[in-house]
Structures are given as structure tokens and as C-alpha cells.
Structure 1
Amino acid sequence: MSWAWEYDPSEEHVTAGAPPTLILQVEEKAGELVRAAEALYVHGAAYESTSPPGGTALVTDGMFVYQTIPRHERVYILQVTAW
């Protein structure tokens, strides 16, 4: 498995009504979060502790809520909010 990000439960659900510029910003920031998680949890699939708390990330046109699950080697985007 390899680290990646994805929308949860689906892109349509999470980004409904969000402008395309905001979605682009969210996806760029999600890529940064994936690279950080990959460096922090080098052997993510073997991670045995509880998952870290979720977080909020700010981008120019809004914000999003995410959850990192090391055992899945995923950063899940849960909610996108436009300003």
C-alpha cells in the first residue's frame, strides 16, 4: 500500500456546491498532508497505536476537515467549507 488521500464518503458528498478553485486548493493541501504523514508514519500499515486526532486545514477560499489513518496509509477529507 502507498500513502494517498481520498474523500470520505465520496467526492460528490464532500465537495457538493464547493467552487472549483476551492476544490483545487483542498487537493493541493491534501497532497502536502499526505507527504507529512508518510514521513511521520514511515511504516503506516504496521502502526499499532490509536489514530491521531483529526484536523482542520485552512486554504485561501475556505477550510476542510481531515482524518489521518496510519494503518490505512490514508488522509481522508471529510468536509469542505467555502468562505
Structure 2
Amino acid sequence: MSWTWEYAFAAEAAARHLPPAFLTEVEHKAAELVRAAEALYVHGRAHAGHDSKGGDVVVPGGMFTYQIVVRSERVYVLQITYLGR
């Protein structure tokens, strides 16, 4: 298994109604988070500690909340907030 990101259920439903340009920004930042998590947690599947706290990321037009689940090698986008431009 390798690191990737995905929308959690509620965020996936919300993403269906958001502008593509905004979602591109979210997806770009989520991919950056994946690369950072992969570098930080080199042995993700064997990780025995706690998962990262996650956080909020501001992107043009809004923000999103994410969570890193190390043993699953996933970054989950939990919530998306679109503020418009």
C-alpha cells in the first residue's frame, strides 16, 4: 500500500457541488500533505504511535480540514469550506 489522500464521506458529498477551480486547489494541497506524511512516516504500516492531530489548510476560496491516519497511509479530507471569491 502506498500513501494517498481521499475525501471522507461528507466532504466527498460536499465536493460534488463546489467549483472545479477550488477543488483543484484542495487536491493540490492534499497531495502536498501526502508527500509530507510519506516523508515523515517512512514506515507507515508499521507505525505504533498515535496518529497526527491533523489540521486546517487555507486555500484560495476557502479551506479544508484533514486527518492523517498513518497505519492506513492515508490523508483524509474531512470537511471543505468554500467561501467563494
Whether these two folds match at TM > 0.5 is yes
Say whether the 8 Å CA contact 2:11–2:79 is kept in structure 1. no
Q: Which residue of 1 aligns with 2:36?
A: 36
1:15 aligns with 2:15: yes
RMSD: 1.4
The alignment of Structure 1 onto Structure 2 pairs a total of residues equal to 83
User: By how many angstroms is 1:65 displaced?
Assistant: 0.4
Q: Which residue of 1 aligns with 2:73?
A: 73
Say whether the 8 Å CA contact 1:8–1:76 is kept in structure 2. yes
Identity of aligned residues (%): 52
Say whether the 8 Å CA contact 1:67–1:77 is kept in structure 2. yes
Say whether the 8 Å CA contact 1:7–1:14 is kept in structure 2. no
Q: Which runs of 5+ in 2 are unaligned?
A: none
Distance 1:15-1:39 versus aligned 2 partners, 3 A rule: same
1:2-56 Cα offsets, whole Å, 9 max, x none, are 0000011266414142211111100000000000000000000000111111210
Q: Which residue of 2 aligns with 1:56?
A: 56
SS in 2 for 1:35: helix
More displaced stretch, 13-22 vs 42-51: 13-22
Q: Under a length normalisation based on structure 1, what TM-score does the superposition of the two structures give?
A: 0.92
| Counterpart AA for 2:49 | S
